[in-house]
Structure 1
Amino acid sequence: MIPSTLTPADAQHLMARACLGAEAPLLHSLQGKSAQAAIQELLSLAVDTPANSPTFSSWGSWESMLHNGEMGQARDRLNQEKMMLKQWWMQHLLTTASPLAERMVMFWHNHFTTSINKVNQPNLILQQHQLLRQHALGNFKTLLHAIAHDPAMLIYLDGGMNYKEQPNENFARELLELFTLGAGHYRESDIKAIAKAFTGWTVDRNNNRFVFEAQHHDASGATFLGQTVNDGDQALDVILAHPRTAEYIAEKCWNAFINTDQADPAEISRWATNFRASGYEIKALLESVLLSDAFWATQNRDKLSKSPLDLIVGLFRSQSLLQVPTVELVKWSEKLGQNLFVPPSPKGWAGGAAWITPQSLLDRYSLLSKLAHSLPHATLTALLDPAYQLK
C-alpha cells in the first residue's frame, strides 16, 4: 500500500531504490511527507552537470602515435584516460545533488550499453555519457533517436560499418532485442529490414560526430514490422509506435526498482499505457513505478541485490567515512564485478542474484570492513549483515 506518510523505513526504502543511498539530510527531509510529495521532490531536483569534465586525446593524436609506431605510449595513455573517466564519474556519484537523476544515468548506462574497451576513444564515451545524463529524466523517444545517432554506439555495435554494399546487422539486432522490443517480438526479416534502413549511418572520428553517407545508403525501402521504411529514423518511429516498446522499458524498470522475479503483467500494462500516453516522458513512467503498490509492498522490499556501485556509493553517501581516493573506489567496483564503462556484453550487467557469489561476498565483506572500520561497532555489524547486500 502506498504510504500517506513516510516512516523512516519508508524513506530509506525510497532512497535506496530510487537514489544513491540514504544520505541523512535528504532522508530526514522526506520523512513525514506523503509518498506523492516525496517523489515529486526527488523528480524536481535539477539534473546537475558534473564539474571539471576531463579532456581527452583526439582521434588524430591516437592515429599519429600509431603511425609512428608508439604502441606502448598509446596504450599507456589510453589506460590513463580510461581511469580518468571512471574516477570523474565516481566522484560525481559521490557528490551529486540530484541522486534520482543519476540513478537513471546508471539505468540507461546499463540499458544502452557501450564498452570503452571496444570504442577505445574516451572522448566519445564521455560524449555519450553526457547524452544519457541530458535525457536521463527527459523523453525516451528523443533519447532513442539520439542514441541511434551516437558515435560511440555506432562504433560499439558496428553500425558505422553498415553499407548497402555489405550490410551489418549487429546494431539492428541489439536495437530490437535489447533496447526496445525484446526477444520474440520481431522476425529475422525485421532485423534485415531495419539494418537496411540504417545503411550509410557512420562516424566522423576526427570531429566526434555522426555522419550520413548517402552513397552507402540503400534507399529502396524495406518492410519493417509490416510498414515500409526508407531510413533509420522512420524505423525508430515504427518501433516507438509499437505497444511492446513501452512494455519492455516498463519491465526493465520492474527489474531495477521492484524485484528480479517475473513482473506483474497488469502492473506492466498500466505503466506502459501511462508511458505511451505521456509521449514517452520518463518522469511519467517513474511516477507510475514509484507510486505503485508493487514498489511499496512489504514482500518486495529487500529483494534487490546491491550492485557494486550501489554498495560503494551508497556506503559513502550514507555514512561518515574517511576519504578514500576515487581511483581506489573504481578499482574496488571492478574487483566486485562492475568495471565502469566496460559492461561484459551488449546485454549489460546481469544484476540481481548474479552480483552475489561466495567470492563476491568475501570481497564485499573485506571492502566494508576496510572502509567502515572507523564507524561504531553496532553500525559496522549492521553493514556486514548479509541483509545489507539487499535493498
Structure 2
Amino acid sequence: MTLDQHTQALGLRNAKHLLRRTSFNYTKETLLEFSNLTPEQAFDKLITIQSTKLSEPYDHKPEDNPHGFWTSSPDGSSLDGQFRKKIYVAYWWLYNGLHQNSLKQKMTFFLHTSFTVSKFNAGSSVHFYDHMRLLEHYAFGNLKTMSKKITYDNSMLDYLDNTKNNANNPNENYAREFLELFTILKAEQVGNGDYTNYTELDVQQAAKVFSGIKTQYDRTNIDSDTNLPMGRIDTFRHDKDDKTFSYAFDDTVITGSDTEEGIAQELDNFVEMVFSKEATAISFVRKLYRYFVKSEWEDEVEENIIKPLAQQLQTDNYEILPILKTLLTSKHFYDLDDADNSDEIIGSIIKSPLQICNELISFFKIDIPDPVTESEDFFRFFDFLYRFYLSAAGMALWAPDSVAGYPAHYQSPDFDRHWFSSNTVLARYKLIESLLTGRNKIRYNNRINVELNIVEFVQNNINEPSYATDLITELADLLYPEPISDERKAYFAQNLLEGFPDYYWTNAWLGYTGSGDDTVVKSRLNALIIQMINAAEFQIM
C-alpha cells in the first residue's frame, strides 16, 4: 500500500472516479477529456482558477423593487427577508458549482464540514455570504491560517456564541468545538475531563484566549489578508491574564495582553500550539480521506497512507494543496497499490443528495434558468431542489442539524450510509422523475420550470441510440463506476422493448427520427432512465 504517484493516463474508469470525488460538474465531454490525462495533469486542471457564473447572490424580491445584488449594499444586513436571503446565498454557491469543473467547490464544502456553521444561526445574510467566501478563499490555502481567520468570522462568532464570550462571563462554546470538532478532536477519555488530546482546563483557557472577539455588524472591519469583512476585538471584554494549558499542550503559557495587537498574538500563539500536535494533522487527514476516498479503513491504511500524509501536512506547514495532490494522484486513490483493484475504493461511497442532483443536472445538460434575467424560473427550480429534494433526502444544504456537521461525515459505524435510509430514499428516487416530467414528484406535483428532454439528450450524446443494448451499455459506462453484466443490460432493456424482440426499439427509434414524433421513444426512454438512475449502481461512486 503506497502513496506512489500513478503516472499513466487515467482511462474512463479512473476519470469517472476522480471527477465524482473532486467535482460537482460531471459531463461526458469532461470524462473523455480527463480519460486521456495523467492524474497529475488532471489535478492541475481541477485546481485551475475558474470564473464564477454568478458573481454575487441575487434576490428577485420584493417584486416591485427587487433587492438584487444586496450583498454589495451598505445596508445589506438590515434589509427585509434575511432568512430568505441566506437561502439565496446557498443557491448562489450551488449555481456556481454546477458551472465549474473545479476542485475548489468540493474543498469549500469540505471546509464547511470541518468548520461547521448553519446558515440559519449565522447572523445576517451578508455575514453568511462573507463566511462562504472565507471558506472559498482558503479552499486551496492554509488550514492553520484558516483556523485563525475563522475565529474572527462574523457568522462563526454568532453561531457558536463567541461574541458573548467576555472575561467576566466566559462562554466556552466556540473554544470547546474548536478543539473537539474543528482541529485536534476528542480522543479516548482517560480521566475526569481528560480526553487525551486536550482537557477541560484547555477548553477553559482557550475560551479566555477567544474572549472579547466580537461581531462587527456593519462589515466595516476589513481583513487585509482576505479583503473580507471580519469581527473586531473588544479589549475591555478580553481576559488579560496569562493562559496556562495542560500537559496535553506541554503546560504551555500564553502571555495575556490588553491591546488589540497583543490579543491577536494570543490567538496566533494558541493556534500554533494546537497545530504543532501530530493529532491535529492526523485529524485533518482522516477527514480528507473520509471525504475523498473511503469512510472506513484498515490499520494498513492508517500506517501507510494517513500517517505519511499527516507528516507531509505538518512539514508543509498545513498547506492543503500539496497533500491533496499527493493523495489524488496516488496509486492508492485509484486502488492500484495492491493485488485487488476491484472492490476497495472505486464505488465505495454512497453519493450525497448534493452529489446526485449535481451529477444529474450536469450530465444530462439540463438548462438552468438565469437567476437575474429568468428569476421566476430560476427560483422555482432551486426552491424545488432546496426545499423539497435536498431537505427530504436528508441534507439541509449549508444547515446541518448540529455543529458536528452531517452524520455521513463523522458518525460511525454508518458514515455515508446515513444518506440512504427509509426516510430519505423516496426523495432520491423521485428526483429523476421530477426532472423528466418538469414537475415536483416529491410533493404537490407543481411545475418546477425545468425539464429534461431525454430524447434530445440521447440523440445528441449517444453514439448508437437505435440499438437497445448499445444504448444501455454506453449510458451505463458513463453513469456507473463499473461496467455492468449482460444480465443487467437485459434487465434494463425491458424498459425499451416491452417484451418484444430487439428490433422493436430499433423500429421505434427509426420511426421517431423519420417522423419527428417522439411519443413512443420518450415514454420508453423515461422509463429506462428512471430505472437506471434509481439502480444501486448509480447510488455509489
Once the two structures are TM-superposed, the CA of residue 248 in structure 1 deviates from its matched residue by 0.7
- Per the normalisation by structure 1, the TM-score is 0.90
Once the two structures are TM-superposed, the CA of residue 36 in structure 1 deviates from its matched residue by 2.3
Residue 425 of structure 2 is aligned to residue 361 of structure 1: yes
Identity %: 25
Once the two structures are TM-superposed, the CA of residue 47 in structure 1 deviates from its matched residue by 4.7
Q: How many residues align?
A: 376
Residue 212 of structure 2 is aligned to residue 193 of structure 1: no
2:386 to 330, 336, 345: 330
Contact 1:113–1:347 (CA<8 Å) still a contact in 2?
yes
Q: Which has the higher Rg, Structure 1 or Structure 2?
A: 2
**Gap runs ≥5 in structure 2:** 58-69, 188-196, 220-228, 256-265, 336-341, 369-377, 409-415, 438-452, 459-524
- Per the normalisation by structure 2, the TM-score is 0.66
Contact 2:293–2:345 (CA<8 Å) still a contact in 1?
yes
**Gap runs ≥5 in structure 1:** 63-73
Aligned counterpart, 2:152 = 149
Aligned counterpart, 1:382 = 532
Which protein is richer in helix relative to its size?
1
Contact 1:322–1:371 (CA<8 Å) still a contact in 2?
no
Aligned counterpart, 1:65 = none
Q: Using the TM superposition, name which of 244-253 and 82-91 deviates more.
A: 82-91
Once the two structures are TM-superposed, the CA of residue 3 in structure 1 deviates from its matched residue by 6.1
Contact 2:163–2:215 (CA<8 Å) still a contact in 1?
yes
1:19 to 20, 23, 43: 23
Distance of 2:42 and 2:123 partners within structure 1: 41
**How do residues 93-132 of structure 1 correspond to structure 2 at under 5 angstroms?**
93-96=97-100, 98-132=101-135
Aligned counterpart, 1:67 = none
Deviations, residues 225-279 of structure 1 (Å, cap 9, x unaligned)? 1211232221111112111111111000111011111462111111111111122
Contact 1:20–1:314 (CA<8 Å) still a contact in 2?
yes
Distance of 2:26 and 2:536 partners within structure 1: 18
Residue 330 of structure 2 is aligned to residue 292 of structure 1: yes
Contact 1:159–1:168 (CA<8 Å) still a contact in 2?
yes
Deviations, residues 109-129 of structure 1 (Å, cap 9, x unaligned)? 221111121124110000010
Ranked by relative contact order (alpha carbons within 8 Å, sequence separation 6 or more), the top structure is 1
Tell me how large the CA RMSD over aligned residues is: 2.1
Contact 1:200–1:213 (CA<8 Å) still a contact in 2?
yes
Once the two structures are TM-superposed, the CA of residue 83 in structure 1 deviates from its matched residue by 2.9
Contact 1:59–1:205 (CA<8 Å) still a contact in 2?
no
Distance of 1:384 and 1:287 partners within structure 2: 33
**How do residues 296-311 of structure 1 correspond to structure 2 at under 5 angstroms?**
296-297=334-335, 298=342, 299-311=344-356
Distance of 1:203 and 1:120 partners within structure 2: 9
Once the two structures are TM-superposed, the CA of residue 161 in structure 1 deviates from its matched residue by 1.1
Distance of 1:293 and 1:200 partners within structure 2: 48
Residue 161 of structure 2 is aligned to residue 158 of structure 1: yes
Once the two structures are TM-superposed, the CA of residue 106 in structure 1 deviates from its matched residue by 1.2
Q: Which letter does structure 1 place at the counterpart of 2:425?
A: L
SS of 2:311's partner is: helix
**How do residues 1-391 of structure 1 correspond to structure 2 at under 5 angstroms?**
2=6, 4-43=8-47, 45-49=48-52, 51-54=54-57, 55-56=70-71, 58=75, 61=78, 77-96=81-100, 98-184=101-187, 185-207=197-219, 209-224=230-245, 225-226=249-250, 227-230=252-255, 231-262=266-297, 264-266=301-303, 267-297=305-335, 298=342, 299-321=344-366, 323=368, 325-331=381-387, 332-351=389-408, 352-372=416-436, 374-375=453-454, 377=525, 378-391=528-541
Q: Which letter does structure 1 place at the counterpart of 2:107?
A: M
SS of 1:294's partner is: coil
Q: Which letter does structure 2 place at the counterpart of 1:244?
A: A
Q: Which letter does structure 1 place at the counterpart of 2:141?
A: G
Once the two structures are TM-superposed, the CA of residue 339 in structure 1 deviates from its matched residue by 1.7
Q: Which letter does structure 2 place at the counterpart of 1:342?
A: A
Once the two structures are TM-superposed, the CA of residue 10 in structure 1 deviates from its matched residue by 0.8
Distance of 2:94 and 2:40 partners within structure 1: 30
The 1:50/1:148 distance shift into structure 2, 3 A limit, reads farther
Contact 2:213–2:233 (CA<8 Å) still a contact in 1?
yes
Deviations, residues 268-301 of structure 1 (Å, cap 9, x unaligned)? 1111111111221111121122123332113111
Distance of 1:274 and 1:24 partners within structure 2: 35
SS of 1:136's partner is: coil
Once the two structures are TM-superposed, the CA of residue 21 in structure 1 deviates from its matched residue by 4.2
Contact 2:25–2:98 (CA<8 Å) still a contact in 1?
no
Deviations, residues 195-254 of structure 1 (Å, cap 9, x unaligned)? 111111111212353111111111211123121123222111111211111111100011
